[in-house]
Amino acid sequence: MRSRLLSLFLLAFLFRALGFADTVYLTNGRSFEGVIAEETETSVKIQMPGGSLSLPRSHVLRVEKSASDFAEYLKKKTVLQRSGAGAGEWLKLALWARSQGLEQGGREASLAAGDLDPRLPGLAPLLRSYGYVLDAQLDRWIPYADSMRRQGLVQANGQWITREEQAARQEEAARQHSERAAARTAQATQAAREAELALVQLELQERLQQSPAADSVPYAGYSVPYVYPWYAPPVSMPRCHHCGAGGIGMPGMPGMPGMPHPPFRSGSSREVHDSSFNHVPGSLIQGRP
């Protein structure tokens, strides 16, 4: 009994695949159109051109049956498989599927034709449009990327180049990266030096603004003029008739009226003071240096 039910179910699914296609509506609002739905009490299996998908029955809102080009393609494909058709029949199915917008079906049927006769007239443009290349050594159609790899090429930035070119490009990229890194380091170093110089200039300016005047001495918070202790205002003095000293001098010094004149001696073309009277540096009184 169980085997009979299974046979009936398979026949029903085959009937749908040969002539009908379904639309599956999900509870979340999405839908799958132009598919073959296999329903059970617990799940719904969806067959589509890109593969199959199994969903829990609770996620399926309803299943609607309708005719579609994909169902017709599946019907034609099943007939060709059962009859053992040749490459020409598969090529016709590929062209029909492509005309109906079934790219997956056209690719599948054209590859089937290529396996039977790789050099079938009219097949090359179709397979090339799907990205396949006829490999002369293998005598079969392979993806374009596989063909390039078999020639020793590698893909870089969307281009197929030799390994030598790839190595040269990598070396050039590394050199440019190193130069950019060196330039960034130099810029950072220059910026740091300029910042350090600006800081030094700012500190120097602050010190100059805070330092006192060069000709004054700070005292109790004020700057007062510095007066040398030996300095006294000059006064007029009578000139000595012995040595000529006098004129402008210091008060209380020899040569003034009422004060003894220092001894002197002669014996030369001019009179000079005694060696006991020496000239004081900074004094206006003449004497022996």
**Which CATH fold would you assign to the domain 16-67?**
SH3 type barrels. (2.30.30)
**Beta bridge partner(s), residue 45:** 38, 54
pLDDT digits (tens, 9 = 90+) for 21-31: 688 899 999 98
Name the token pair of 155.
């893909």
For 175-185, write each residue's pLDDT tens digit: 899 899 999 99
13, pLDDT greater than 50: no
- pLDDT value, residue 118: 94
Condensed to tens digits (0 to 9), the pLDDT of residues 228-252 reads 444 455 555 555 555 555 544 444 4
Highest mean pLDDT: which range of 41-55, 113-127, 206-220, 251-265: 113-127
Is 288 in a helix, a strand, or coil? Answer: strand
Overall average pLDDT of the 138-151 stretch: 92
Which of 69-73, 128-132, 169-173, 283-287 holds the top average pLDDT?
128-132
What phi and psi values does residue 274 have, to the nearest 5 degrees?
-65, 155
77 vs 70: which has the higher pLDDT: 77
pTM for the full model? 0.44
pLDDT for the residue numbered 286: 60
User: Is the predicted pLDDT of residue 283 greater than 80, yes or no?
Assistant: no
CA atoms within 13 A on the CB side of 215: 2
- The pLDDT of residue 86 is above 90: yes
Considering only residues 244 and 205, tell me which one the structure prediction assigns the higher pLDDT: 205
Amino acid 122: pLDDT: 93
When mean pLDDT is compared across 16-25, 64-73, 151-160, the lowest value belongs to 16-25
What letter does residue 156 receive in the DSSP assignment? E
Q: So what's the pLDDT on residue 288?
A: 53
- The per-residue pLDDT of the chain, averaged, comes to 75
CA–CA separation, 244 and 260 (whole Å): 15
Residue 281, pLDDT score: 65
What residue spans define the domains of the chain?
16-67, 71-151
pLDDT of 227 strictly over 60: no
- For the CA atoms of 205, 209, 210, 216, what is the dihedral angle to 10 degrees? 130
What is the residue type of 173?
A
DSSP letters along 149-218, please? HHTTEEEETTEEEEHHHHHHHHHHHHHHHHHHHHHHHHHHHHHHHHHHHHHHHHHHHHHHHHSPPTTEEE
Which tens digit of pLDDT belongs to each residue from 92-139?
A: 999 999 998 889 899 999 999 999 999 999 999 999 999 999 998 999
Read off the pLDDT of each residue in 249-261 and give the average, rounded to a whole number.
48
